[in-house]
Amino acid sequence: MTGFPFGLPGLAAFGVFLSALLILGYRARGARRDESLSDFYLAGRTLGPVVLLATLYATQYSGNSLIGYPGETYRIGFAWIMSVGFMMAIVVMYLALAPRLFPLAARHGYITPGDWIDHRYRTPALTWTANVLWVVAISNYLLAQLMAMGHVTEGITGGAVPYWVGVVVFTLVIIVYESLGGMRAVVWTDALQGLLLIVGLIGVLAVILPTPAHLRELTEWVVVNQPSKAAVPAWDVIVNWASTIVLIGLSGSVYPQAIQRIFAARDLRALKRSICQMAFLPLVTMVPVVLIGIYALQHLSGLSGITADQVMPLILREWTGGSAMLFGLSLAVLIAVLAAIMSSADSVLLSLSSILAKDVLGSTVLKGAPESRLTQVGKRLSWGIVTVLVVIAVVPRITLWGLIEFKMEVLAQIWPAFVLGLHWRRLTGGAVLVAMLIGVAVSIGLTATGHPRVWGVHAGVVGLAANLAACALLSTRWAIRLPARGRASMASAD
Amino acid sequence: MAQTPAPDLPIRTGPRADPGRRLWIWVVYACLYAASIPWYLPSNERPPVWFGLPYWVVLSLTATSAIAVFTLFVVSRYWSEAPEEAGRDAPEAR
């Protein structure tokens, strides 16, 4: 299997897609109102329900949803239907924070998630620690997306286009449109990318399972030929299922890029409508993804030694030799895969840049600098960040894949500070900081010592339990306090 | 060590504006999630097929669909767009 199977039509389609992204970036630059942080990083808080929904959707579903999840289904069978529940858990957990956070953000002009932590606790050490955890977690996430762009490019072209070309070209497109238009460019391109993702998925489903009879036939084949993948899951899978819902639900809801989209909503009505619709999208997205994996069980049963990540590329490459409709669909899905990866990467990059420019430099070496200066610095930081990450991604000796495993575990430890702080007045900055460090130490300690799961429960969930217990004890029994900047009270900011 | 004064949130959202403050809503979510995980079903190698899927997958999807519908209900019914005035329903205002 060598060569780009899509030929000139494929190259032309990619050219059109990438050009459309750049044009949207250019148009977004024209729509800017000023050089403020709010305008660049939050699109001036003007996102209406349709754009907000599109960007929340495209950001939440990354390339992993289209490449990794069919592979997971191929590996474990129907039990991967758990992905519907854990993707929905992120939306459910928005209810614990959005109703209180949105009015606070609107009133006090929050730009980054760290603004809320700083405002709530007035404890610089806590704000710094939370920002370090966010930066570590989302840097790894961004690196994973850049590497995924290279792997998809190399895999689908059978090596004709090298891995590094995929990483560099697609990253370059992202950084150009993002520098041009900031959040506006990101959300407009997200709208296009999200549309491609959902059209591609539904198109694939329509081809592989055109009627209910086909679905029944497929399921009965799995029941007979690979019964363990259709049976009620064993107890260890059940425990992992529940643990994954907790871990993904809590950590996914405090992704900086997701929180900044809540800040960027035009009004409460737009935010509510988007969250309502987001609740249904796991059904529309993950059910087709799982069924594609189940289809692969039967369709690729004659091949041996297939790894999970090869499942989707193998199906797509096979379709390129079929009818014109299948060829077009496989090309659309390939572009959708790259769109999904790019839409997550651009959102993460923008968040990372905002945290580093505003919360890190803006509180130290650039303290007191005008917002236009911080915005300019943020744009340059984005170029610096992607340069470093591209080097890491293309140098084979350097790999941070192991750290990616820590991403959700680390993010989950921010949840008590971020969300409990909205509801529990007695929670103190000192207690939250100590508890957060305990949670991180437990999570990373367990994973590093070869215990990523304890009786099926993720190390991050065990760490979170320790974190919550420490929060409760330290805030109520010992009421730990650290030096605070001003009064540890939101009222002082009014 | 002395108790830290509780922060005073500037915008008070009691249960009418903030569904997150209603315990029963989280209890319903917990029950629906518990129903979505097939821990309560017997393990059988050849499960019956309902609507083209193993029956436990249909049960799981029914429960997750209920979670989506419940979320729509909660947001529509219990997340008010008008901020409540300080002192009404807000535990912070005691």
Q: What is the pLDDT of residues A60-101, one digit of tens each?
A: 888 778 888 888 899 899 999 999 999 999 999 999 999 999
Q: How many CA atoms lie within 13 A of A2 on its CB side?
A: 2
CB contacts of B40 in chain A (<8 Å) are none
pTM for the predicted model, two decimal places: 0.89
B86 falls in which pLDDT band (50, 70, 90)? very low
A220 in reach of chain B (CB within 8 A): yes
φ, ψ dihedrals at A193, nearest 5°:
-65, -40
How many angstroms separate the CA atoms of A69 and A73, rounded? Answer: 6
**Planar angle of CA A41, A47, A49, nearest 5 degrees:** 145
How many angstroms separate the CA atoms of A25 and A458, rounded? Answer: 40
pLDDT given at position A5: 73
Q: Name the residue with higher pLDDT: A421 or B12.
A: A421
Compute the average pLDDT of residues A306-311.
Answer: 74
B5 in reach of chain A (CB within 8 A): yes
- A232 and B38: CB-CB below 8 Å? yes
- B71 and A480: CB-CB below 8 Å? no
- B41 and A232: CB-CB below 8 Å? yes
A237 in reach of chain B (CB within 8 A): no
Compute the average pLDDT of residues A438-463.
Answer: 92
A266 in reach of chain B (CB within 8 A): no
Q: Does the pLDDT of residue B88 top 50, yes or no?
A: no
- A425 and B67: CB-CB below 8 Å? no
- B6 and A219: CB-CB below 8 Å? no
CB contacts of A88 in chain B (<8 Å) are 64, 67-68
CA distances from A415 to A249, A268, A327, A478 (A): 10, 23, 45, 21
Chain B residue closest to A87 (CA)?
B64
Task: For residue A308, give every residue at least 6 positions away whose Cβ sits within 8 Å of its Cβ, in sequence order, or none.
Answer: A68, A71, A72, A74, A75
CB contacts of A262 in chain B (<8 Å) are none
pLDDT given at position A483: 58
Report the DSSP beta bridge partners of residue B49: B54
pLDDT given at position A490: 44
B66 CA: distance to closest CA in chain A (Å): 10
**A373: exposed, middle or buried (Cβ count in 10 Å: 0-12, 13-18, 19+):** middle
* Strand duo B49-50 + A457-458: pairing: unpaired
Closest C-alpha to A63, from A386, A335, A396:
A335
pLDDT (tens digit, 9 = 90+) per residue, A130-183?
999 999 899 888 988 888 888 888 877 777 888 899 999 999 999 999 999 999
A490 in reach of chain B (CB within 8 A): yes
A120 falls in which pLDDT band (50, 70, 90)? very high
Least confident of A125-134, A332-341, A429-438: A332-341
**Planar angle of CA A20, A23, A24, nearest 5 degrees:** 85
Q: Name the residue with higher pLDDT: A135 or A321.
A: A135
Q: Name the residue with higher pLDDT: B7 or A205.
A: A205
Cβ-contact B70, B28 below 8 angstroms: yes
How many angstroms separate the CA atoms of A202 and A54, rounded? Answer: 16
Structure tokens at A417: 């500070």
- B79 and A272: CB-CB below 8 Å? yes
CB contacts of B65 in chain A (<8 Å) are 283
B54 CA: distance to closest CA in chain A (Å): 7
Q: Does the pLDDT of residue B28 top 80, yes or no?
A: yes
ipTM of the complex: 0.90
pLDDT given at position A489: 42
Q: Does the pLDDT of residue A309 top 50, yes or no?
A: yes
A77 in reach of chain B (CB within 8 A): no
Q: Which of A53, A78, A80, A81 to mutate to test the interface with B (most CBs of B within 10 A)?
A: A81
How many angstroms separate the CA atoms of A170 and A148, rounded? Answer: 11
Please name the amino acid found at residue A486.
Answer: G
Size of interface A-B (CB pairs under 8 A): 172
Measured on CA atoms in the order A457, A283, A334, A298, is the torsion positive or negative?
A: positive
Cβ-contact A72, A292 below 8 angstroms: no
